[in-house]
Each structure stands twice: as C-alpha cells, then as structure tokens.
Amino acid sequence: MSGSRCPQCAQPWVSPRLLPCLHSLCEPCLRRLEPPEGSPGAARPVLCPVCDAEVSLPAGGVGQLVPDCLAGSRAGAAAGCDLCADGAAAGRCLTCGLRLCRFCCRAHRRQKKTASHAVTELENTKDWSQTGKPLLCPSHPTEELRLYCEECDQPVCRDCVLGRHRQHPCDFTSSVIHRHGDTLRELLKSSQQHMDTLEDVLSQVDEMGSAVRSRTEAVATEICQFARGYVKAIEEHRDRLLKQLEDLKVQKENLLHLQKAQLQQLLLDMRTGVEFTEHLLMSGSDVEILITKGVVSSRLTKLNSVAYSTHPSVDDRIQFSPHERAGQCCGYEVFGAILNKVVDPARCTLHGEDLHSARQNQLSGFTLLCKDTTGEHMGRGGEAVRVTITHKDKRDCTLKPTVCDNGDGTYCISYSPEEPGLYAVCVCVKGQHVQGSPFTLMVKHKFREHQGVFHCCTFCSSGGQKAARCACGGTMPGGYQGCGHGHKGHPGCHHWSCCGQVKESSECLCVPPSDTSQRSLLRTVAL
C-alpha cells in the first residue's frame, strides 16, 4: 500500500497513477521513466522502481494509466487543517469541502455562518474516500463520474453517455458496485488463500533453510573429524614408510659393509701372499724356493679358489609408488609403498597345461609368474605385460589374448584359437622376453562327437556282405578279413572306422554273424 508520498521522489502525491503491478507513482515521475516513443500504438515497457517488475504503458502513454484515487485520498488525510494549518485533518466539511482539525471542526459547528454545514469525522481511509471531493470526468471536468459503462468497463459521466458511449449499456455506479465488488471479493478471497499457502511455503522454506544450515554444520563437523583422522592416518603411514625406508637402508648398508669387510680381508690375504711369493721368487735361492714351494702353492691355491662377487651384493633400486595400495591405517585406506623389487624378465616363468597345446575353438590359457632380479616372487602387479600369438603358416591369422593382472605378481593369459595349426607365442615384460619366450603352440582340431554304427570289419559284422555301410552313410574301407569267429580262412581282424582310421584294440570287437542284434557297435570317436 502506498503512503502519503510518492515512493520515487518522496514528495507529496501529484496526480498519482496506478501501474499494472499495483504500485503508484506521481505522474511527473512516470513521465521521467517513460521511454522514448516507438511505433504508433505500440505498448512501451517501463521498469517499476518499487518492485523492479517490467510493466507496459498504454499506447497513449502515462496519461492513459488509471489514476490512483486512494493515494490522493491518503495524501489528503495526511494533510493538515485548511483553516489553522497547525493540526492534522480529522474531519471534512461536506458543504465547503474544507479539511478541518478537531478544534476547527468544533469551531465550524459553533460559528453562526457554518453551523448548518455537515462535518464528517475522518476515522479511516475509506471514510475519507467516501466523503472526499467527487471524482470528475477527465474528458468533462465539470461532470462527476456517476455512471458505469459495461462495454468499456469504466466509470463515465452523463456527457460521456450522451456522447461516445451513447450505444453502450450503462448504469449507475451504485447499482453495479455490488456485482463488481463481489467479483473483486472472490478474487481477493482466492488471492488471500494463495497468500496463506505462500506464507506456509515460505515458513517451510525458512525451516528448510534452518535445517540445511544445521545439517551443513553437522556435515562440516564430520568432514573435519574425517580430515583429522585422515591426516593422522597419513602422518602415521608416513612415519611407517620412513621407518621402513630407514630399515631398508640399514639392511643394504649392513650387507655392503659385510661384503666390503670380506673383500678387504680377501684382498689383504691376496696381497700378503703375492708379496711373499714375489719376494721369494726374486730373492730366494733355488733350495729356499723348493723348500717353501708347497706352503706357498697351497696358500695361493686356496686364496684363488675363494668365491666372491664381482658386483655389489645389493643395488640402489629403491622406489616409492604413490598409487600403490598400502592397506588400512587407523581405519582409513592409504596409498603409497616403498618398492625395492624390480621385475627381471629373464627370471619370469610360464606355467600351465595349455602352454604348448590347445584345442580349436576352446578357451585355453597359461599363467605368467613375475620374479625380481634375485628370483623371488614379485608379490604385486602393475607390470607391462604384452602377449602376441601368431599363426606360423598364416601370418594374417593372429589371436587376441586377454591378460588379467591378479595383483599378486601373476598374470593369467587366456585365448581361444579359431584356426588349427602351429602358432608362435611371445610373452614380454617391459619389452623383454620372459624365460622360455618365444615358444610354439600346437592347436589341434576340435572334437566332433560322432554317434554312428561302426562295424569291426566288413565281413564279420555284415554277415559277409562286402558292400556294408556305416550307419552314418560312409562305406567301410579296407579288406574283409575275418576274425576267426566261424569264418574259415580269415584269421585276424582289422577294425576300421567309417573314416578309415584303424581303431587300436587288443581283441576283436566284432560279434558272430548269427547274433543279428549285436552286429553293430555304437561308438563315439574323435574324427
């Protein structure tokens, strides 16, 4: 609701106009906000300085906006007395239209000249509006707005009805106010319901904001606790790694010191023996040389047979892997490990039953075991393993093996060959062949289950019919030599399959021709 002053210029109202957003401004203020004229008849947008809403001015400009009569009434109610100019207006004379303070109201009633005037108390804004000056028609300033044009939806005066509203349905404002007032009251009721809902939603929004802030503080506390715990775990893991590094350094230094002491002692013994022998050969007589030859030879032979390493017993291969999983520390998973093992491809080995043989269209594979330079199991994964399997006769026939890192230093290599034949297999770690690589792989034909009727020989199983056929439709190759089951002159038995391959058997598999129900044997063979 607007006060007694314009919200833009903070001055008393001067011809207040009502914007579509229901905020009022003085007409001079609105004209200063009015944008330059555009195309004729086009609505021009203006930004309300109260709510920042963009509203459109009528095509006729600011003058076509609805006047805010209530703002003018409130300005009048807030004005001072017209007679004494000392007190605030508390009433209005309906006869002369003067604003009067309470003292002047009583004086106005006592004076003989104005005693008959009707003076009304201004108890609220509505009373002031009802008792104020009549609203005059902007087109006919001398006529009061007492009629209402239904078609144009606006109050009009008597001259307007006789003029451009002649053909429009019009009625007195007192007759239509109830109907239009009821419409406004219904809209007001609906708006009030929305206001209640909005206030409830705003209350929920405020409560949710408080809940979000509370939850944020709780989560922030959890984060700080987690961070403190994590920092503690990292610091403890750091101390553990540094201690492990120090222990590793001491271990390597001790081994180097031991090797150094052994080599120094061996060198001292060698130098002593060499110097003594050189002095003996240069200064000793023949007899002296011959006398001491045995002792000197024994000593030098023993020294020369002492085994020693020509390289340091340890190396400086100490690495830190920040991405290596290091297990749990204070309940947190930590990363980072000291690596002193380096894979040696020449010591890596291959294992598995399918290392050198496989079957066509069957999944096969083998295992790669990675070892370090000392031959010990690596115990961790992450190595660069590359495997190639190429057909020796068909260079364009290559397999795409799958390498699975088990994370413990072993790698499972699986493949499924589609073509039989001889293959060359290369297994490399860090670009170098492992032990036994490259090697050959023999892929055999796949098993084909054959369920047919096989005759042990063309004579015995068919009752002497030379043109006997297998149940699969193939003819029986080979002779028809008998098996000795009552078939004279045919000793021995050749057992043939329908594919012409001799079946290895130490005894005859045929049956006498009289037993017709068992003349044939169901066999499954690998073709």
Q: What pLDDT is attached to residue 470?
A: 52
When pLDDT is cut at 50, 70 and 90, the band that residue 243 belongs to is very high
DSSP state letters, 8-40: TT-SB-SSEEE-TTS-EEEHHHHHHHPPPP-ST
CA distance 520 to 452: 10
Within 10 angstroms of residue 297's Cβ, the number of other Cβ atoms is: 11
Predicted pLDDT at 277: 94
> In the prediction, which pLDDT does 228 show?
94
Per-residue pLDDT at 292: 92
Tens-digit pLDDT profile for residues 426-438: 999 888 899 988 9
**Can you tell me the mean pLDDT for 129-157?**
79
Q: Write down the pLDDT at residue 465.
A: 63
For the cut 90, the answer to whether the pLDDT of residue 114 exceeds it is: no
pLDDT of residue 520: 41
Express each pLDDT in 305-315 by its tens digit: 998 888 888 87
State residue 13's pLDDT score. Answer: 78
| pLDDT score for 104 | 87
What's the CATH number for 1-76? 3.30.40.10
Other beta carbons less than 10 A from residue 372's beta carbon: 19
Domain residues of the chain, as ranges? Answer: 1-76, 82-124, 175-305, 345-444
**Would you state the structure tokens that stand for residue 466, as one six-digit string?**
């030379």
Can you read off the two tokens belonging to residue 71? 């703002």
User: Which pLDDT band, with edges at 50, 70 and 90, does 183 fall under?
Assistant: confident
pLDDT score of 317: 77
Mean pLDDT lowest among 203-207, 419-423, 470-474: 470-474
- Give yes or no for residue 233 having a pLDDT over 90: yes
| Least-confidence region, from 86-90, 265-269, 375-379, 432-436 | 86-90
pLDDT of residue 311: 84
Arithmetic mean of pLDDT, 195-214: 93
The lowest-confidence range among 284-288, 340-344, 390-394 is: 340-344
DSSP 271-313: HHHHHHHHHHHHH--HHHHHHHHHHHHHHHHHHHT----SS-S
Mean pLDDT value across residues 397-422: 89
Confidence of residue 521 (pLDDT cuts 50, 70, 90): very low
Name, in order, each residue with C-beta under 8 angstroms of 415's C-beta and a sequence gap of 6 or more: 358, 363, 364, 365, 389, 399, 400, 401, 402
Q: In whole angstroms, give the CA distance from residue 144 to residue 134.
A: 6
> Is residue 319's pLDDT more than 80?
yes
- The rounded distance, in Å, linking the Cα atoms of 424 and 387 is 11
SS3 100: strand
Cis ω before 438 (30° cut-off from 0): yes
In this structure, are residues 481 and 459 in contact, taking their beta carbons and an 8 Å threshold?
yes
**Residue 133 predicted with pLDDT over 80:** no
Which strand (E) or helix (H) includes residue 481? none
The pLDDT assigned to 466 comes to 56
Judge whether residue 48 has pLDDT over 80: yes
Going by C-alpha positions, the residue among 517, 497, 484, 508 that lies closest to residue 455 is 497
262, pLDDT greater than 50: yes
What's the DSSP call for residue 382?
-
Question: Is the pLDDT assigned to residue 60 strictly greater than 60?
Answer: yes
pLDDT band at 128 (very low <50, low <70, confident <90, very high): very low
**85-89, 288-292, 298-302: which range is least confident on average?**
85-89
From 460, 462, 456, 458, select the one nearest 502 (Cα to Cα): 456
In this prediction, residues 197-211 reach a mean pLDDT of 93
Residue 268 has pLDDT above 70, yes or no: yes
Range ranked top by mean pLDDT from 6-20, 118-132, 322-336? 322-336
Please report the pLDDT score of residue 38 as a whole number: 56
Least confident of 180-184, 223-227, 410-414: 180-184
Highest mean pLDDT of the ranges 66-80, 104-118, 216-230: 216-230
State which H helix or E strand residue 403 sits in. strand 402-405
Beta-carbon count within 10 A of 74 CB: 22
- Report the alpha-carbon distance of residue 182 to residue 162 in Å, rounded: 29
Domain 345-444: CATH class, spelled out: mainly beta
pLDDT given for residue 509 in this prediction: 43
